[in-house]
Amino acid sequence: MPNILVTGAKGQLGSEIKELSSCSDATFFFTDADALDITDKKAIESFIETNQIDVIINCAAYTAVDKAEENEDLADKVNQQAVKYLAEVSKERDIKFIHVSTDYVFDGKNYKPYIEDDVTNPPSVYGKTKLDGEKALFKVAAKNSIIIRTSWVYSSFGANFVKTMLKYGKERDELRVIYDQVGTPTYARDLAKAILDIIPQLDNEKPEVYHYSNEGVLSWYDFAKEIMKMAKIKCNIVPIETYEYPLPAPRPHYSLLNKSKIKKTFNITIPFWKDSLSECLIKMGERS
């Protein structure tokens, strides 16, 4: 059975993998920045050698989208340089490598779901550094390495849109939510399950990119409305345009991902977003 290193283990995806790991025969090593500095190649090499790692799942990232606009060096260090080091060690030691990326590598000007080969053009520093991480992995060209781009991640762990809506929905009579940004949420637990299913199937000579989110399409406004409905919270959700809620970093207006490649390659079934939201809310005790 493989020894699997999970970086960013305290984040939403890492936490979901950790919870699911009890049902696996593999041995997992869950790390965060305190346990393993992935911006230090020697530290990575030492950890890999000591624990005889066979697989790396990189869930670590600098995800503060707005703060990244003023902290590009730090975002680049985590989102690009660390990926380069992990890819290099994976290549040197013949380790399987799964790296998680984002829909923010696209500019959001498409009119149909993005496929993996569509032109990238990130409008934000966060998106740029994540794309640079992807490019670094491709340059290293480690076999059995893949990139999974995902979008609108939420979970019962960590901070996310679902938890924010639940909190403010209970405190306020009305919330203003953007309706002109369209995509699909990703329940981190679904993605975690998919990753664990993919690991034994990895067999590629060069890096590959895949897209993963739940099925369906909606706006943040639609998402908020459904959260309130399922949780039976009486809060009026008012649709607003992006310009009415200005933020330092631009967001893609359209970030729907085409998941055909990952479903076909790894024989994965992806749940509908409403079903996954219901499952998450039940787990959180917000829906009976």
The per-residue pLDDT for 94 is 96
What are 215's strand-pairing partners?
A: 272
Residues catalogued as catalytic: 126
Q: Is residue 286 part of a domain?
A: no
Separation between Cα atoms, residue 196 and residue 2, nearest integer Å: 12
Identify the DSSP state of 35.
Answer: T
Q: Is residue 224 part of a domain?
A: no
pLDDT at 288 over 80: no
Question: Does some domain include residue 21?
Answer: yes
Number of domains in the chain: 1
Average pLDDT, the chain: 97
Confidence at residue 23, expressed as pLDDT on a 0 to 100 scale: 87
* Residue range 91-115: mean pLDDT, rounded: 97
CATH number, domain containing residue 45 = 3.40.50.720
Query: What pLDDT shows up at residue 261?
Result: 98
Q: For position 4, what pLDDT does the model report?
A: 98
Is 59 domain-assigned? yes
What is the C-alpha to C-alpha distance for residues 222 and 175, in angstroms, rounded to an integer?
Answer: 13
Q: What is the rounded distance in angstroms from the CA atom of residue 230 to the CA atom of residue 234?
A: 11
Decide if 54 is inside a domain. Answer: yes
- Domain presence at residue 74: yes
pLDDT digits (tens, 9 = 90+) for 35-85: 999 999 999 999 999 999 999 999 999 999 999 999 999 999 999 999 999
CA distances from 113 to 17, 183, 202, 275 (A): 27, 9, 25, 21
Does residue 26 lie within any of the structural domains? yes
**Domain encompassing residue 78:** 3-158+185-215+255-270
Q: Per-residue pLDDT for 13 more than 90?
A: yes
